[in-house]
Amino acid sequence: MRRIYSPTVGAESWQSLLADPVKHWRTGYSARTLAHCWEAAEGLPPEIASLFGADAELLIAIPEHKVSLRDAGRESQTDVFALVKSNNRTIAVAVEGKVNESFGPTIREWYVDPSPGKQQRLALLCDLVGVKCPPPDDAHYQLFHRTASAVIEADRFKTDDAAMVVHSFSPVNRWLDAYAAFLNLFGVAT
């Protein structure tokens, strides 16, 4: 994983950072929509700023930020990793963009006949996010590793807090129920 980041020159700069720059860079899909939104905001997009308070300030945003999950498995590629300052606190924020795409496989689908590596990863993710292992079968695996990314980066950057935010552009709140179920694991209601 590289540790040197270069500034963007607009939304189009984000395309080359994608796992599949052709497939994932389409009008109406999250990667492109998120890039245009964040670039146009020149700071925190208003809907994200509102989550952190009136004085929320974007310190840095890194598109398609890869985070090692402290095991031999694949890194978690966060759509946007941001350091946000609010109320004299610094927050490590993992942002997952969505339009109509799902959160991918559920734990049940991802954990079929788990290898020792998958068993180790799931235990690690649950430990990092503070959820009993194994988590509910219908929870989405992606939400666990994105949240763990925020926790890991909060530790690495010595921030006060960590947050995982889904930046949704769905006009019909698609997948809100899946996100709400995930938040419910932490006693958070939507």
Q: How confident is the model at residue 6 (pLDDT cuts 50, 70, 90)?
A: confident
How much of the chain exceeds pLDDT 90, in percent?
Answer: 85
| pLDDT mean over 90-119 | 95
Residue 116 belongs to some domain of the structure: no
* pLDDT reported for residue 140: 97
Q: How confident is the model at residue 4 (pLDDT cuts 50, 70, 90)?
A: confident
1 pLDDT exceeds 70?
A: no
Residue 107 belongs to some domain of the structure: no
* pLDDT reported for residue 170: 94
pLDDT digits 0-9 by tens, 61-94 = 999 999 999 887 889 999 999 999 999 999 999 9
176 pLDDT exceeds 70?
A: yes
Residue 6 belongs to some domain of the structure: no
Give the residue numbers spanning the domain of 69.
11-102+141-184
Amino acid identity of 124?
Answer: L
Residue 77, classified by CB atoms within 10 Å of its CB into exposed (0-12), middle (13-18) or buried (19+), is: middle
Residue 35 belongs to some domain of the structure: yes
Residue 79, classified by CB atoms within 10 Å of its CB into exposed (0-12), middle (13-18) or buried (19+), is: buried
Residue 123 belongs to some domain of the structure: no
111 pLDDT exceeds 90?
A: yes
Residue 15 belongs to some domain of the structure: yes
Which residue's entry shows tokens 């999950």? 69
Residue 190 belongs to some domain of the structure: no
DSSP string of 34-71? HHHHHHHHTSS-HHHHHHH-TT-EEEEEEEEEEE--SS
In the β-sheet with 57-67, what is the strand arrangement from edge to edge?
57-67, 76-86, 89-98, 161-168
Which residue's entry shows tokens 């788990």? 114
132 pLDDT exceeds 70?
A: yes
* pLDDT reported for residue 42: 87
Domain count, the chain: 1
* pLDDT reported for residue 73: 81
Tell me the whole-structure pTM to 2 decimals. Answer: 0.93
Beta strands in the chain (DSSP E): 57-67, 76-86, 89-98, 161-168
Residue 135 belongs to some domain of the structure: no
How far apart (Å, rounded) are the C-alpha atoms in residues 135 and 49? 30
Window from 15-29, 101-115, 120-134 with minimum mean pLDDT: 15-29
* pLDDT reported for residue 2: 72
147 bridge partner residues? none
